[in-house]
Structure 1
Amino acid sequence: MAEALLKLVGVTRSFTAGDQALTVLKEVNFQINRGEMIAIIGASGSGKSTLMNILGCLDKPNKGSYFINGQDTSTMGEDDLAALRREYFGFIFQRYHLLGDLTALENVEVPALYANEGPHERQEKATRLLTRLGLSDRLDHKPGQLSGGQQQRVSVARALVNGGDVILADEPTGALDSRSGEEMMELLRELHADGHTIILVTHDPQVAAFADRIIEIKDGEIIADKQTRPESKINELNSAKKNTEQKKPNETFRIGYTRYIEALKMALIAMANHRLRTFLTMLGIIIGIASVVSVVALGNGSQQTILDNISSMGTNTIEIKPGTGRGDRRSGRVRSLTAEDANALKILPFVDSVTPTVRANVAIRYASETVTGSVQGVGTEYFRVRGYSLAQGQYFNEQSVDSLEQVAVIDANTKQELFSDGEALGRVIFLGKLPVRIIGVTEPIESVSDNSDELNIWVPYTTVSGRIFRQNYVSDITVRIDENVSSEVAEQGIISLLTMRHGVVDFFTINTDTIRKSIAKTSNTMTLLISAIAFISLLVGGIGVMNIMLVSVTERTREIGIRMAVGARQADIMRQFLIEAMLVCFLGGALGVGLAYLIGIVFHYTSSDLLMIYSTSSIIAAFACSTLIGVLFGFLPARSASKLNPVDALSRD
């Protein structure tokens, strides 16, 4: 005698109701052979639906054993039970249980998807089944666009797509009109004739009359088990014994790739059908990412602007003065610095520009007016060293220096003080007794070394040395350093060269780059502080994602139950929700970066003082951070979804 297809031995199922246990099935014993068409009948509350759930591996008994082809299901894990639901059973639910976001064709494909079939095979098989059931013109219709009878036929096609050796039909005509109900029963008889084992769960005697065998249940106990037709059409379904676990080695990658691609598609469909919820989920991530990227860009821009400004004020310079230090009383009598030292320093590779300086304390006269100001004899590169730019005229050149030419460049303060009519070029002023002609006027500048209110007049250093003082030494030398070179390294190079030239250290240096570093450090600290605040907002956004995803799991409990009923593994459910959370965060990150760029455009056109410099590394870090948030905060909802009980999930609306 052939082994029973399904066999229940002493099966008991009870549920906890408050402090009491409600027993729904009591010591149930029976078996079902392959190829039978059986009706399980009983009044509402008799336990027939619970019995169907146990037969379909949607539920487990508290006591007793349930065997499928001789294998005890109590020894199987959740994924093994899912494989049975996927490969062995086909469910036809009274309420259809179709996924509202998918078309009829996509609904039928779902079990085949979890059975790792390729997209073309799935589509071809689903199309063939729906065509056979008279729905060839409804393939692209969603459940809401189908009648009750059409939805039930889609449910039948879904039950058959993986073979459906055992068809479990729960009140198959309960939600249909009489004509559709008759068509459904005829369809089930055809499936039985094709060799499928059919198990009907119904309270309708007319439906039960279609079966070859009727099992009656009352108060959780089998009270009758009678054969209504001779066992003449019981077939052995060798095809039921599938070996789905044997995969070709080259199929492993395809299966894994397909699972992730399909999970991504499902996530996109779910997001597209719940746009508002998706956007609200993304909102916290969008704001957080936009804040981080914008703050970093604004910090970079502000720092660059400040550094450019202070560079123009001569803060990346090193001043060389005679003596051994600021407190050296002998420094005024040390006369070792010369213009030749300045020329020697120009050959150093890290030097941008060099100027010697000779200062003169003389009266400045124009016409009948005498003023006090700063007269400096400088080299041609002085204006580059100090970051000055011309407003009018020109600078003096090397020829002017070599010929001790009596020409001068004045600043805006001097022009305003001496020339009220605004014309300065070509005028002659007296530096003490020395007449000089004005050839240039500089733009106003804020300098860390010069008083912004002081009157400044610059002439060739040779003119001051030769025509006023008649000396061959200079007061000091100022060197501007290339911005890409460490100021400490440059300072040591300068000291080494001058020490070698003088044979003794009779000078000292003042490195003004410390101001630049201090400002840069302060700017970085502020950027870090504000970025930390922005990151907190990103973290809050991640918590929002988790909360809304948890709500989403609750809202989509029925969908999860349907997917589990048709064979989804726990990993499949977890993968779908995890990818959805990651996708929400990734898209939120992209929109956040886009918003940050939009903020930059707004700043560009509305404010000339704010500069935003976007950092590629910060954008990459923002994307990585948003994706990581999707993984971290999506894990709990995804795990919660995968741990749902299929029966409980299906019973929720």
Structure 2
Amino acid sequence: MSNQPLLQLRQLRREFPAGEGTIAVLKDVDLDIHAGEMVAIVGQSGSGKSTLMNILGCLDKPTAGSYRVQGRETGQLDADELAALRREYFGFIFQRYHLLSDLTAQGNVEVPAIYAGMPGEARAQRAKALLERLGLAGRTEHTPGKLSGGQQQRVSIARALMNGGLVILADEPTGALDSASGREVMQILGELHAEGHTIILVTHDMQVAEHAQRIIEIRDGQIISDRPNTPRNPLATSAAAPKTQVVKPSRLAFSAALDRFMEAFRMALLAMNAHRLRTFLTMLGIIIGIASVVSVVALGTGTQQAVLQNIASIGTNTIEVRPGTGFGDRGANRIRTLVASDADALAQQSYADSVTPSVNSNATIRYGNVEASGQIQGVGEQFFQVRGMKLAMGSLFGREAVHARSQVAVIDDNARTTFFPDGSDPIGQVLFLGKVPVRVIGVLQAQSAAFGPNFGTVTVYLPYTTVMSRISGQSHLNSIVVRVADSVSTQAAEAGITQLLVQRHGVQDFFLMNSDTIRETIENTTQTMTLLISSIAVISLVVGGIGVMNIMLVSVTERTSEIGVRMAVGARQSDIQQQFLIEAVLVCVLGGVLGIALALLFGQVFAQFNSDFQLIYSMQSMVVAFLCASGIGIVFGYLPARNAAQLNPIDALSRD
């Protein structure tokens, strides 16, 4: 043995809060343990031996005094530096085994090497070799629940040796075993000591302590005896040269970090699979929130497209001239300066593709014994071109009919189904508009546009001259509609119309309304409404995120023992935090994917019951929703993950 102690304690004290004061569990302990020794620390329950072992294994820190590991002072080390010491120097064998129930025997053995950065292939080979050496060659793929107590303790020993096990700390290694299994475990520990491992047994059983070369008895937090012993195990007397070098796996930092990430990812999947119902219920808030956001955006986009298509059916690229200063002008009815000659002048301009005057009137329309209130539209011969209307049967009236003030009419599909419900041919039939008879010469195709000129009512189109002279008796127009030539911008056409009519009227007593303005207004309104409703839907996302946080906090509480085991075998705080954060993000991301799928399913169902328009899904909204789900996982998963990472290893190990 070397003169330099491997483990050295000087005036070490450990105190715990007790009410308003403190209680000293260890009192000014001085102790040296050299490499290659097999030491037994014995004492009754409450004597302080377990606390001493926890400090020796860097699971706990002393309140005062000094503790050095191979000359390195531990008192000022942070949590991750202590974790590094546990990875490099110590292997723990617990009385209750503390194996991870979701992992196989080989998986449990590999855990310390993952945190140490050992390559995957080398890690698997070493784990298998250790299990074979300990008589578990055929049990490597069994989970702890399928192993006996003795076999579980052997897995625990193999795990302690995975990173070299320079110092093996065995806490009551035979306490939960039958006599035969206990003898086998002590035999294995004797063999390990013979190979040069430093073995520290913590026990209250003197028969176990008799296997050691040195027995330290502790009582009331003080060492009362430290004596050499002739061990029962003959292997212990032939110890090999002590192991004083720590073997650190050489590995690129990125590869090692990736291995730790994959381990955390795998454990997150195992934990989610082990609690499938709870995981689904946790996701439910995220699923509903994401589905709501995606569906609302799709509904808003679909509605907007349907409305814009309706506007297009009115006539694309059109400008309507109306008297007054704008919508809601109460004096507009008194302005009668808009006349047919204005329409003729506009028709001569280069920016005008076609122009139609318009006068409106209402009347009771009668055919035979069928009557209906309807709208009478007096229009020019180019009206149907301006509005983009298509003929279903018959013909349209032309310039001659306008000039002659002919009593001919073109009816819409509403009028056809109202007055000719039996499918009879309306062409040539006579309708009475009030007392004025008109002959039907054409029928228009059905208009699906809610914003079409008929507004869903029965509409009859006549030459505007006929309406002005025979029905309304007015000499002025209600409006003029100009279809702008494709080669001219709407802004240029508006400027030209304004200039021409101001010259003719001497004042601007009219206002212009174009389809682009309506389009922009509706787009802005739809976007505002979509944003508003989406904001409401986001509330469910936040509620779902809070649910994730609550469940993850519960998960941390349930898996405290697992966290303690991982810390004991060398997991960094970042490793623990990463594991729980990955789980939270996975829950939210999977919830986001299911939410998007639910939204798409809703779209299919919606399409079956509504043929007017369909939901239009945006890849952008789905990506944003997916990113939101990930962000919620990170934000609401951080607190539970942080709480898990900051657990005290001793407190964590003491909970089951």
Q: Identify the TM-score tier after normalising by the shorter chain.
A: 0.7 to 0.9
Following the alignment from structure 1 to structure 2, what is the Cα–Cα distance between the partners of residues 156 and 265? 24
Confirm or deny that 1:217 pairs with 2:223: no
Which deviates the most, 558-567 or 2-11? 2-11
Q: Structure 1 residues 643, 366: closer, same or farther in 2, change over 3 A?
A: closer
Confirm or deny that 1:647 pairs with 2:650: yes
Q: Verify the 8 A CA contact 1:324 1:331 in the aligned structure 2.
A: no
Partner amino acid for 2:562? Answer: E
Q: Verify the 8 A CA contact 1:315 1:515 in the aligned structure 2.
A: no
| Structure 2 unaligned residues grouped into runs of 5+ | 232-236, 327-331
Which deviates the most, 553-562 or 616-625? 616-625
Deviation string 1:103-142 (CA, Å, 9 cap, x unpaired) is 1111000000000112212111111111111111111110
| Structure 1 unaligned residues grouped into runs of 5+ | 348-353
Residue 275 of structure 1: how far off its partner (Å): 1.3
Q: Structure 1 residues 166, 418: closer, same or farther in 2, change over 3 A?
A: closer
Following the alignment from structure 1 to structure 2, what is the Cα–Cα distance between the partners of residues 369 and 270? 74
Which residue does the alignment assign to 1:123? Answer: 124
Which residue does the alignment assign to 1:602? Answer: 605
Partner amino acid for 2:204? Answer: H
Deviation string 1:83-111 (CA, Å, 9 cap, x unpaired) is 11111100010110000111111100000
Partner amino acid for 1:378? Answer: G
Residue 302 of structure 1: how far off its partner (Å): 2.6
Residue 476 of structure 1: how far off its partner (Å): 5.8
| Secondary structure in structure 2 of the residue aligned to 1:627 | helix
Residue 281 of structure 1: how far off its partner (Å): 1.7
Confirm or deny that 1:239 pairs with 2:238: no
Following the alignment from structure 2 to structure 1, what is the Cα–Cα distance between the partners of residues 564 and 4? 31
Which residue does the alignment assign to 2:19? Answer: 18
Q: Structure 1 residues 417, 603: closer, same or farther in 2, change over 3 A?
A: closer
Residue 585 of structure 1: how far off its partner (Å): 0.9
| Secondary structure in structure 2 of the residue aligned to 1:331 | coil
Q: Verify the 8 A CA contact 1:324 1:505 in the aligned structure 2.
A: no
| Secondary structure in structure 1 of the residue aligned to 2:341 | coil
Residue 453 of structure 1: how far off its partner (Å): 4.8
Which residue does the alignment assign to 1:350? Answer: none
Q: Verify the 8 A CA contact 1:26 1:221 in the aligned structure 2.
A: yes
Alignment equivalent of 2:579, drawn from 576, 579, 582: 576
Which residue does the alignment assign to 1:393? Answer: 393
Deviation string 1:253-280 (CA, Å, 9 cap, x unpaired) is 2223222222212211211122122112
Q: Verify the 8 A CA contact 1:314 1:447 in the aligned structure 2.
A: no
Alignment equivalent of 2:529, drawn from 526, 531, 541: 526
Q: Verify the 8 A CA contact 1:298 1:610 in the aligned structure 2.
A: no
Confirm or deny that 1:291 pairs with 2:292: yes
Following the alignment from structure 1 to structure 2, what is the Cα–Cα distance between the partners of residues 365 and 646? 92
Residue 417 of structure 1: how far off its partner (Å): 7.4
Which residue does the alignment assign to 2:638? Answer: 635
Taking every aligned residue pair, what percent have the same amino acid on both sides? 53
| Secondary structure in structure 2 of the residue aligned to 1:67 | strand
Following the alignment from structure 1 to structure 2, what is the Cα–Cα distance between the partners of residues 516 and 303? 9
Which deviates the most, 527-536 or 583-592? 527-536
Following the alignment from structure 1 to structure 2, what is the Cα–Cα distance between the partners of residues 611 and 649? 55
Q: Verify the 8 A CA contact 2:112 2:163 in the aligned structure 1.
A: yes
| Secondary structure in structure 2 of the residue aligned to 1:31 | strand
Q: Verify the 8 A CA contact 1:356 1:474 in the aligned structure 2.
A: no
| Secondary structure in structure 1 of the residue aligned to 2:224 | strand
TM-score (norm 2): 0.85
Following the alignment from structure 1 to structure 2, what is the Cα–Cα distance between the partners of residues 339 and 290? 56
Alignment equivalent of 1:456, drawn from 460, 470, 478: 460
Following the alignment from structure 1 to structure 2, what is the Cα–Cα distance between the partners of residues 37 and 324? 102
Q: Verify the 8 A CA contact 1:408 1:439 in the aligned structure 2.
A: yes
Which residue does the alignment assign to 2:621? Answer: 618
Which deviates the most, 95-104 or 253-262? 253-262
Partner amino acid for 1:495? Answer: E
Q: Verify the 8 A CA contact 1:34 1:234 in the aligned structure 2.
A: no
Deviation string 1:163-201 (CA, Å, 9 cap, x unpaired) is 001011111111111111111111111111111111111
Confirm or deny that 1:357 pairs with 2:352: no
Confirm or deny that 1:425 pairs with 2:427: yes
Which residue does the alignment assign to 2:6? Answer: 5
Partner amino acid for 2:564? Answer: G
Residue 638 of structure 1: how far off its partner (Å): 0.7
Which residue does the alignment assign to 2:95? Answer: 94
| Secondary structure in structure 1 of the residue aligned to 2:68 | strand
Which deviates the most, 145-154 or 18-27? 18-27
Which deviates the most, 144-153 or 532-541? 532-541
Following the alignment from structure 1 to structure 2, what is the Cα–Cα distance between the partners of residues 330 and 130? 102
Residue 497 of structure 1: how far off its partner (Å): 4.0
| Secondary structure in structure 2 of the residue aligned to 1:510 | strand
Q: Verify the 8 A CA contact 1:413 1:456 in the aligned structure 2.
A: no
Deviation string 1:453-509 (CA, Å, 9 cap, x unpaired) is 5641346x89999xx9xxxx9986424579x99xxx954311344578889465855
